[in-house]
Chains A and B, each alone.
Chain A
Amino acid sequence: MSLKASTNLEKVLAAGQFALTAEIGPPRGPDAEVVAKKAALLKGLADAYNITDNQTAVVRMSSIAAAKLVLDAGLEPVMQMTCRDRNRIAMQSDLLGASALGLRNVLAISGDHQRAGAGGKLKGHPGAKGVYDVDSMQLLAILKGMRDEGLQASGDELTSRPAFFIGAAWTPLGPPKEFRVTRLAKKIAAGADFIQTQAVYDVKAFAQQLAQAHDQGLTEKAAILPGIIVPRSAGMLTYMHNNVPGVVVPAELTARLKGASDPKAEGIKVTVELIQAVRELPGVKGVHLQAIEAEELLREIIPAAGLTPRPQV
């Protein structure tokens, strides 16, 4: 099998190994050392690390710069790119720049709307003019066109072809549920090589959606990595269930954390169980782990799930 970008993530998946990605959120300041510190904390735990692109529409260090810092620290980044802040000219220009810097994994997403951002804690920039020139599907197609045909979206030729391993997001349990598998199929047709999903807590519901994708052969065409956000309290689960679109938390799980004497330890246990449960599902090729603002927990969870050491490919 010929590799598209020969990234570590791509190679792990190509070798048939169970892949693991984690997340590093860039800081709200120009501090390279903050990024380096997070990188050092997580080094060796995952095959690649997603670098978010101004998530929740809050201004942070650019994903390109932070991804480069992570790369320099010896980790492999997955540079996220949203459609909110750039038009197709800026996107392609940034993608060429990213490629020149050695960034090869790119995840294309719509991005949180500038008005829905900040989550109430920060002001954000709700008055910003959103761009949304192209949508995430079209960005995937642009990435693929640049890589496979050496063409810009307009059809103009690139002087050489950037190698990208192309990622997309999937919200399997968001309404309209009957369309979500179709949307996954579209993303894969547009260019996605790997898929990271919205956080999965309801494994049964996820399995039903995944089974449809599997039956359509989609799990062969792209590597699906279910997302898991490490739960730290019942309150956090309730918040996500009520406020984060596409996240469905079974009541038993919330009750379990509520009843736990040490919710944090229980959350770690739950995460390990979730990893094991999704791993059993046909078509799952890895997991995408997020420990939002508590990355140190991953140092405990990943070995506990038997996922260390990471494969050398």
Chain B
Amino acid sequence: MITAEWKPIPELVGYLRGHQKVLLLGCATCVAECAAGGEREVETLAPLLRMALAKEGSPVEIITGTLERQCEPEFIEPFVPAAEGVDAIMSLACGIGMQLLAERFPQIAFYPGVNTTSLSLREAPGLWTTRCAACGDCVLGETFGLCPVSRCAKSLLNGPCGGTRTSGSCEISEDTPCIWNLIVERAKARGQLDRLSAVRRPKDWSNSPAGGPKRMLREDLRP
């Protein structure tokens, strides 16, 4: 899923200070799964912001809603009447949903409530860890189904650097496994360590965000 996390509350308070009426909109898809922007989080954040703003003497009316999917135009339409009475919208959706919302209401001040952070897996309750970097050139076929592009801090393609700790963790954190350590373990378990012995050439990053904004076109699906 796409994961996101709340921006620091003082930053959110700063955005809303001086507004009269704000629509705070969540999304019931990815950001709900990662407990950042679902209905529960909307209904937690709204009173918190109302209280913080009221306490500093600049009360703001905050109305709330949660869309099934903020990244699909048809789910936004039912909120058009609510949006028409507000002078700002704050979204707890991922950056994709946020932009569709901002595009639908270009005349209204728009603020992000979350930072979109990663493409992650809910590994355990309350724990989300990265699985994909959307690099546009998948290597999982050569790395035994474990992604070194997103899960190695240096996106190494030819094995572990010298930073693997004795525990098998990455040099950046004891909580982050060295993915190359795991790739080697899996290769060994499959009896195919030799498949990791060839030198992999530099990656073509042109199909990743580094290559510029993506434009994916399928003529057969066009109207």
Contact = CB atoms under 8 A, between A and B. Distances in A.
Q: Do A and B come from one complex?
A: yes
Interface of A: 83-84, 88, 109-113, 115-116, 130, 132-138, 141-142, 153, 169-171, 174-176, 178-179, 182-183, 185-186, 189-190, 198, 245-246, 248
26 contacts: A83-B154, A110-B163, A111-B154, A112-B163, A112-B171, A113-B153, A113-B154, A113-B163, A113-B172, A130-B154, A133-B205, A135-B156, A138-B157, A138-B200, A171-B161, A171-B164, A174-B160, A176-B160, A178-B193, A179-B184, A179-B193, A179-B196, A186-B198, A186-B199, A198-B162, A246-B163
Contact of B162 (A110, A130, A153, A179): A110
A110 B164 contact: no
A246 B169 CA distance: 12
A183 B180 CA distance: 11
Contacts of A248: 166
Nearest to B163: A245
B178 interface: yes
A113 B152 CA distance: 11
Given A113-B172, A137-B200, A178 B158 contact: no
Interface of B: 153-166, 168, 171-173, 178, 180-181, 184-185, 188, 193, 196-203, 205
A295 to B, nearest CB: 23
A186 B159 contact: yes
Given A112-B163, A113-B154, A175-B166, A189 B199 contact: yes
Given A135-B158, A245-B165, A245-B166, 5 more contacts: A132-B154, A141-B199, A182-B197, A186-B159, A245-B171
Given A134-B202, A183-B159, A175 B197 contact: no
B154 A186 contact: no
A115 B163 CA distance: 12
Contacts of B181: 175-176
Given A176-B185, A179-B193, A179-B196, A132 B156 contact: yes
A137 B172 contact: no
- Of listed A83, A137, A171, residue having the most chain B CB within 10 A: A137
Contacts of A133: 202-203, 205
B209 to A, nearest CB: 12
A137 to B, nearest CB: 4
B171 A88 contact: no
Contacts of A183: 158-160
A178 to B, nearest CB: 7
A10 B184 CA distance: 34
Nearest to A140: B199
Contacts of A130: 153-154
Contacts of B178: 175
Contacts of B154: 83-84, 110-111, 113, 130, 132, 135
